[in-house]
Structures are given as C-alpha cells and as structure tokens.
Amino acid sequence: MDLNRQKKAPVYEALERFRKQRVVPFDVPGHKRGRGNPELVSFLGDRCVGIDVNSMKPLDNLCHPVSVIKEAEELMADAFGAAHAFMMVNGTTSAVQAMVLSHVKKGEKIIMPRNVHKSAINALILCGAIPVYIDPKVDTNLGIPLGMELSDVKKAIEDNPEAKAILINNPSYYGICSNLKAIVDLAHENGMKALVDEAHGTHLYFGPNLPLNAMAAGADMAAISMHKSGGSLTQSSILLCGPDANIGYISRIVNLTQTTSASYLLLGSLDISRRNLALNGASSFEKVTKMAQYAREEINDIGGYYAYGKELKNGGSIYDFDETKLVVNTRKIGLTGIEVYDLLRDEYDIQMEFGDLSNVMAYISIGDRLQDIERLAGALADIRRLYSKPEQSFFSAEYVTPIVKATPQEAFYAEKESLPIDETVGRISAESVMCYPPGIPILSPGEVITEEILGYIKTAMEKGCSMQGPESEDISELFVLK
C-alpha cells in the first residue's frame, strides 16, 4: 500500500471543488441543492443536500468511471490489496449478487454454506444456478452455526466436480472463520473460483492480529460492507477482485442491478473512509480489539453470561475467531438473546446489533468508547439481577438442516398456492423466511417445510425476533408449490 498516495480522496476532493463553484442546477435531483425542500435541509443540513447531486463530467459516473471515481477505485484496491475494486452504492447485497452472477449461469453449480445471507440465495433466483449446500456444523451449547469443515468442502467438490465456484462466509455474523486459505486453495486446485462474502470483515484488512482476509488468502472476489466496521455511510460497500478477474465482464454484471443514479454522499463516504482506514486503520482496530476484549472480561465477570472469544478455536469448524465481534450467550440467565436485546433498548437506551434465541451481539467498531462498554456491562448486570429466570432449553441451534427439492429459481417462479402455515408441513416452500438481522434464511425457496422448521419459526416469532420473507405480513401463511 502506497501511504503517500492514500492521503488523497479524489471523489471527496471533487465534491469540495464543486461545492465552491456555486453551479446553477438545471439537472436532477429536483430539490436543487435543497432550495425546493426546506424541510429536507432542516433535517440533513446545507452541506449534505448541497452535494446530493447527479453524475456530471467533473464528478465522473459510477457506471463507467474514467476520472475521479476511477482513481478512487484504484486507491481502494491499493488499500485492500486487490487488483481492482468497485465502489458499490446498492449495499453489499449487490456486491454478493455481482460475485455470484459473474461466475454461474442457469444450470451451473455453485458450492456454498447453507447459512449464507439472503442476497446469495436471491442471486440464484435471478440466474438459475444450482446451489450445492454444505451444512455447517453447529455449537448446540451456544446455539450458533459454525464455519465450513475442510472435509465437507472436499466432499462437495468430489461429488460436484463441474461446480464453477465456492462461496465462503468470512467471518460469519458471529465472528466464526473457516480455514479460508485452505478452502481458496482447494477451489483453485479443482478449477473453481473462490468468492468470499466478507460483509462483516472490513477491519480484517487493517487491524493487527485479526483473522486472514480474502485478498491475502488469494480469493478471486470479495464483497465488503464498508459501512459496517469501516465507518462509511449505510448502504455503501465495495467489491474486490483478484488479479485473474475479468473486470470488463464483472463491470457489465454490476451494472445490471446497480443504480444509474449513484449517491455522491455514499461515494464520498467510501472515499473518506478508505483514506481513514489506510492511514489510521491499524491503530484504530488495535483499540477496537482491546475494547472488545475488555468488554468480554467485564461481562464474563458478571456471571450467567458467556461472551465468547478465541478460546473456541478448534482448527476446523472454528478455524479462527474475529475478536471484534462481542457476542454474548444468554441461556444461563433463562432469557433469549432477543429478550435481552429488547430490555437493553427499552429499559436502558442501549441499541444492540441483534438478538437471536441464544445470543445478543454488540458490534464494536471505530466509533465506540470505553464508557459505553462500561454502561453496557452495567446494564447486563442489572438485567441478570432483575429479570433472570431458570435456564430453559429453547432449541438446539441457530440452524436447521434443509431438505432441498428444487432450485431457488424453479421454486420462486413455479405455480404456487398460499396455505395457513400449520398446513404446510411436507410441502415445498416458494418463499424465504428469516430473522432479520442477520438475514440468513431459516427456509428458502425449493426446500421442504418440516415440523422442526415450523417450530423454529414459531419460537422465534414468540420471542420477538423480527421476521421477514413471506408475502404474509404476520407469517400466518406461506406460499408453497402446487
């Protein structure tokens, strides 16, 4: 990485030059630097709406960058150790979909863990590729899915030698990392591309003593949520490419789904955040890791909770652990993670990242402060004292092994009918059902609906998980294949 060059922020600098020119706008957006919508200016401020502008020659165009955006993408690639980087304004969802759509077409196979984000499943609906799912191992005590075992990946390759690519989560939502380098090497040895959903791994490129990142492991592509741990605005992400990527073709794929009206607020935030990470990321994430470790110690001292870390590593399904993820298991205080999540928000004004049936997560990053960590630990101690119950057994894990009977595309577009959810056992689902966050489907199109899956969905709903996917707003009905 060229640190001197990384001091530049070409999109941000171009926007600042534009701001000073006081150009008369006869283009979109129609608010005309806020003059047409004073309430918007009051809400966001002059500086924000003043650079909410359309693409123009001085500011380049994200669909076909030739100047400042092109330079910003080159700097992004340099900072992340990639051959090329695409700035993405449709979130990491569009980056994951671009990875999948770039490498598999209708009828072709792609190997992936079943606990992928819904964006990967939706990409299969769009292109008609055939998923070869690897069921993750589960930790039934913690209630979380783990990484991909190398032996399971080898078997999937042996059984499906014609597969075009392998998709890998690194790290998972819970901070679990598979043996990334070994899986990438295995893919390449068998003529397959290695694609990495690294939505939760921006910091892996900058912080010391963190798990291996996708580009360092030799992956072909990686989708990165800069807005999660990298500090940019929500919905801004990047798509990284290795040296053998067909950039022209990938660019065409990206432009199939990405907006032609890219937000310069998002692009500017990506540019500034990349510069900040390149220049200050190592020291920033060293502090983040220490803060998360301090939080673990404080929370584990309370009793009843288990904030887990690198002690989980087993050389296989938990090859490594991302210590910046502060995940707290709540089972021993008799409350689900979602109940603790709700109590923290409603009674203590603390907003956590998510709660599931066994865990609650705090996303520790560059904007956190030590006093906030101490406030969280104090609130958790209070909750244990005031609200704890005898330990209960809700379910075995945050993952139910599916029975796949059709590809996501076949099921999504098939003739279907809506049934009360209790009458769907044994039928093939035409919809997805998931808790959001994290957006990992409990049920995907093409999978058989079982009593176990319905039990999981009902328990999650009863405990207050936010459910998404079906057309039925209250999840009382599901569309199934006729």
**Band of the pLDDT at 415, cuts 50, 70, 90?**
very high
- What 8-state DSSP symbol labels residue 252? H
Tokens 């998404």 map to which residue?
468
* Cβ burial 217-244 (10 Å sphere, 16+ → b, else e): bbbbbbbbbbbbbbbbbebbbbbbbbee
- Please tell me whether residues 97 and 237 are part of one structural domain: yes
Q: Which domain does 249 fall in, by range?
A: 61-256
Q: Is the dihedral of CA 359, 318, 395, 297 positive or negative?
A: negative
Residues 6+ apart with CB under 8 A from 304: 332, 333, 384, 388
- Please tell me whether residues 368 and 455 are part of one structural domain: no
- Please tell me whether residues 293 and 220 are part of one structural domain: no
Q: Classify residue 273: in a domain, yes or no.
A: no
- Please tell me whether residues 446 and 306 are part of one structural domain: no
For residue range 25-64, what is the model confidence (pLDDT) as tens digits?
999 999 999 999 999 999 999 999 999 999 999 999 999 9
pTM over cut 0.75: yes
Q: Classify residue 12: in a domain, yes or no.
A: no
20 to each of 12, 15, 262, how far by Cα in Å? 13, 9, 21
Q: How many whole angstroms separate alpha carbon 267 and alpha carbon 274? A: 11
For residue range 88-146, what is the model confidence (pLDDT) as tens digits?
999 999 999 999 999 999 999 999 998 899 999 999 999 999 999 998 888 988 989 99
- What 8-state DSSP symbol labels residue 171? S
Q: Classify residue 393: in a domain, yes or no.
A: no
Tokens of 270: 């990506």
Peptide bond before 243: cis, by omega within 30 degrees of 0? no
- The answer to whether 465 and 412 have CB atoms below 8 angstroms apart is no
CATH at residue 296:
3.90.1150.10
Q: How many whole angstroms separate alpha carbon 17 and alpha carbon 312? A: 51
For residue range 183-204, what is the model confidence (pLDDT) as tens digits?
999 999 999 999 999 999 999 9
Average pLDDT estimate for 439-451: 91
- What 8-state DSSP symbol labels residue 475? S
Number of domains in the chain: 3
Tokens of 79: 């900072």
Task: Assess whether pLDDT exceeds 60 at residue 411.
Answer: yes
Q: Classify residue 274: in a domain, yes or no.
A: no
Q: Classify residue 198: in a domain, yes or no.
A: yes
- Please tell me whether residues 382 and 416 are part of one structural domain: no
Q: Classify residue 436: in a domain, yes or no.
A: yes
Q: What is the CA radius of gyration of the chain?
A: 23
Q: Classify residue 202: in a domain, yes or no.
A: yes
- Please tell me whether residues 297 and 382 are part of one structural domain: yes
Tokens of 338: 């979602």
- Please tell me whether residues 378 and 333 are part of one structural domain: yes
- The answer to whether 1 and 78 have CB atoms below 8 angstroms apart is yes
- End-to-end distance of the chain based on CA atoms, in angstroms? 56
- Please tell me whether residues 340 and 458 are part of one structural domain: no
Q: Is the dihedral of CA 90, 91, 96, 99 positive or negative?
A: positive
- Please tell me whether residues 459 and 353 are part of one structural domain: no
What integer pLDDT is reported at residue 373 of this predicted model? 95
Q: Which of 387, 418, 436 is the last residue of a domain?
A: 387
**Secondary structure of residue 405 in the 3-state scheme:** coil
Average pLDDT estimate for 347-364: 94
- Please tell me whether residues 143 and 230 are part of one structural domain: yes
**Band of the pLDDT at 264, cuts 50, 70, 90?**
very high
- Please tell me whether residues 97 and 198 are part of one structural domain: yes
- Please tell me whether residues 380 and 419 are part of one structural domain: no
Q: Which of 214, 238, 256 is the last residue of a domain?
A: 256
CATH at residue 174:
3.40.640.10
Q: Classify residue 229: in a domain, yes or no.
A: yes
CATH at residue 431:
3.90.100.10
